[in-house]
């Protein structure tokens, strides 16, 4: 049985994007199930796959994993040759730290600048706290690139789970045309031009569904 990843709309579901990118980078074959969000039948459809009622969910034979970072960790262990975490212990510890900070923080940015891959919303979402989140994210990127990024264009040189965790933020910065310093802008361009990211964006652009509250 192939791996199956259940995701929400590619245009809006930032948490779905993360393990989808990691699974792509693992090189493993997988089936994809997309469940449109914010519809009357959404919750019931998700419960067919996930005990939490949320996406994403990864199925591997009888095993079900229903949380984004847990899925990424599982994939790193299942496909060690893909090097989904940095090999160096110090770099790996920082990669996990910044990934977990993304997982638990930046609520102002996430609330006021919802992911909308197809969107073009310059100047929107500038609520209190958003610029502070942008500043902290930019500082994380700058620190990781300076300390660990000498051997490639990603946060730790080669692509890692940390990059997948911040990919939806890069998408938001494109959508809302956020003013960034040169280093942060270069990193956004790296993620935006990544083949896996480009495939996700293309999928989002082909979707017919619209969630009005995310269109601002």
**What are the tens digits of pLDDT across the range 93-112?**
999 999 999 999 999 999 99
Q: Where does residue 83 fall: left (phi above 0), alpha (psi -120 to 50 degrees), or beta otherwise?
A: left
Confidence of residue 1 (pLDDT cuts 50, 70, 90): low
The pLDDT score that the predictor gives to residue 216 is: 78
Is 21 within 8 Å of 82 (Cβ atoms)? no
Beta-carbon contacts of residue 83 (< 8 Å; ≥ 6 apart): 158, 160
Instruction: Decide: 63 and 51 in contact? Cβ < 8 Å.
Output: no
pLDDT band at residue 51 under the 50/70/90 scheme: very high
d(CA 208, CA 201): 14
Residue whose entry in the numeric block shows the structure tokens 């502070």: 132
Strands (E), the chain: 3-7, 30-34, 57-60, 63-65
Q: How are beta strands 63-65 and 57-60 bridged, if at all? A: antiparallel
pLDDT digits (tens, 9 = 90+) for 167-199: 999 999 999 999 999 999 999 999 999 999 999
Residue found under tokens 């890692």? 160
Residue 159 has a pLDDT of: 98
User: Can you tell me which residue has the tokens 């009888």?
Assistant: 62
Burial class (CB in 10 A: 0-12, 13-18, 19+), 78: middle
Cα–Cα distance measured from residue 88 to residue 113, given in angstroms and rounded to the nearest whole number: 34
Mean pLDDT, the chain, whole residue set: 97
Q: Is residue 203 within 8 Å of residue 10, measured between CB atoms? A: yes
């Amino acid at each position: 049985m192939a791996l199956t990843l259940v995701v929400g709309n590619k245009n809006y579901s930032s948490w779905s994007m993360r393990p989808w990118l990691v699974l792509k980078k693992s090189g493993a074959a997988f089936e994809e199930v997309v469940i449109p969000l914010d519809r009357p039948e959404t919750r019931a459809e998700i419960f067919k796959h996930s005990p939490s009622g949320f996406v994403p969910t990864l199925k591997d034979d009888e095993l079900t994993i229903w949380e984004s970072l847990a899925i990424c960790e599982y994939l790193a262990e299942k496909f060690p040759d893909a090097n989904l975490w940095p090999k160096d212990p110090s770099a790996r510890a920082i990669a996990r730290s910044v990934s977990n900070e993304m997982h638990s923080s930046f609520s102002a940015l996430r609330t006021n600048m919802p992911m909308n891959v197809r969107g073009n919303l310059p100047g929107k979402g500038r609520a209190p706290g958003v610029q502070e989140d942008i500043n902290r994210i930019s500082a994380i990127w700058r620190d990781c690139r300076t300390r660990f990024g000498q051997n490639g264009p990603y946060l730790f040189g080669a692509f890692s789970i940390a990059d997948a965790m911040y990919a939806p933020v890069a998408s938001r910065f494109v959508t809302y045309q956020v003013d960034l310093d040169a280093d942060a802008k270069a990193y956004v361009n790296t993620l935006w031009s990544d083949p896996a990211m480009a495939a996700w964006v293309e999928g989002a652009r082909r979707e017919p569904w619209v969630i009005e509250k995310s269109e601002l």
